[in-house]
Amino acid sequence: MSFAATILTLYPEMFPGPLGISLAGRALEEGKWSCETVQIRDFAQDKHRTVDDTPAGGGAGMVLKADVLARAVDHALERHPDSPVLAMTPRGKPITQARIRELAAGQGVTVLCGRFEGFDERIFEGRPIEQVSVGDIVLSGGEPAALMLLDACIRLLPGVMGAASSGTEESFEEGLLEYPHYTRPVEWEGRTIPEVLRSGDHAKIAAWRKQRAEDDTRLRRPDLWERHWGARD
Ligand code: SAH
C-alpha cells in the first residue's frame, strides 16, 4: 500500500512540483506514494467562489473562511478517513523528525495550506486538525511548507532511499546533529581530511564521529542538546 498525500490548496499547480523530480519523483512514478490535490475554491458556494474575507476586528489582509475550509477538509476526510489532517501555520507546533517518522509509517497525510493572513481559528475547534509549523519564519503560503513536510516523509518510505542509507544515523535521529562529512580530494586549498577518517580504524572513526556530533550539537544547537541530553548531564 502506498503513502497517500492529499493537499488542500488554492494553488494545486504547485504539486508535485519539486517532488516530481529526483528521489521523490522516481518514487512517485513507481507508485510508492501518490499525490492528490484538492482545490479549496471548489468548496466555495457563492457565485464568486469566495474563499476569504476581511479579518474580524480589522487589520490588514484576508482570512480563509471556516465554512469553505471545513467542506474541503470533510471531503478529504471522506476519501482518507485514517490520514491525519495537518494545517501549515507558523502558529503550529514545530515539526520534528520524530513526527515525520510517525507520519511516514502511516497510510498518508492530508495537508491544509493557508494563504493570506491564514485560517479562521474556528476551523481548528470544529475539525480534528494538527497545526504544524516548519520553523520560525513566515512564508507567503502553506504550499512550500507542505512540500517540505512531504519531502521529509517520502524519503523515509520503504525502498525510496535504498539500502545504503536507512536514515538512522542522520541529524536529529538521536537528538543530535550529524557529524560532518568529507570526500576526495584528500587535500583541497591546503585543507586536509581529518587524519582519523583516513586511518581505516572503524572504532576510532565511530568514536570521532560521535564526539563531533555531540560537540557540534552543543555548540550549534544548545536548545536541542538541552532537550535531549540536558537532564542526563
Ligand atoms: N498571519 C500569519 C501568517 C500567514 S502566512 C501569522 O502571522 O501567523 C500565510 C500562510 O503561509 C499561512 O496560513 C501558512 O499556511 C503558511 N505559512 C507561513 N509560514 C509558515 C510556517 N513557518 N510554517 C508553516 N506554514 C507557514
E strand spans, the chain: 3-9, 33-39, 52-53, 63-64, 85-94, 108-112, 129-133, 187-188, 191-192
Residue written as cell 510508492? 32
For ligand 1, pick from 7, 85, 88, 134 the residue to mutate: most ligand atoms within 8 Å of CB: 88
Measure 138 CA to ligand 1 centroid, in angstroms. Answer: 5
Average pLDDT of the residues in 192-205: 98
Average pLDDT of the residues in 34-58: 98
145 lines ligand 1 (CB under 6 A): yes
231 lines ligand 1 (CB under 6 A): no
164 lines ligand 1 (CB under 6 A): no
Predicted TM-score (pTM) of the model is: 0.96
Q: Are 225 and 218 a contacting pair, CB within 8 Å?
A: yes
Instruction: Give the contacts of 72 (CB within 8 A, at least 6 positions apart).
Output: 8, 38, 40, 42, 43, 112
State yes or no: pLDDT of 61 exceeds 70: yes
Among protein residues, the one with the nearest Cα to ligand 1's atom 18 is 139
Per-residue pLDDT tens over the stretch 10-37: 999 999 999 999 999 999 999 999 999 9
40 lines ligand 1 (CB under 6 A): no
114 lines ligand 1 (CB under 6 A): yes
**Domains located in the chain, CATH noted:** 3-154 (3.40.1280.10), 169-232 (1.10.1270.20)
- Cα dihedral 174/150/66/14 (nearest 10): 150
Per-residue pLDDT tens over the stretch 159-194: 999 765 556 678 898 899 999 999 999 999 999 999
Per-residue pLDDT tens over the stretch 90-126: 999 999 999 999 999 999 999 999 999 999 999 999 9
Measure 149 CA to ligand 1 centroid, in angstroms. Answer: 14
State yes or no: pLDDT of 1 exceeds 90: no
60 lines ligand 1 (CB under 6 A): no
Which amino acid is located at 194 in the chain? P
State yes or no: pLDDT of 50 exceeds 70: yes
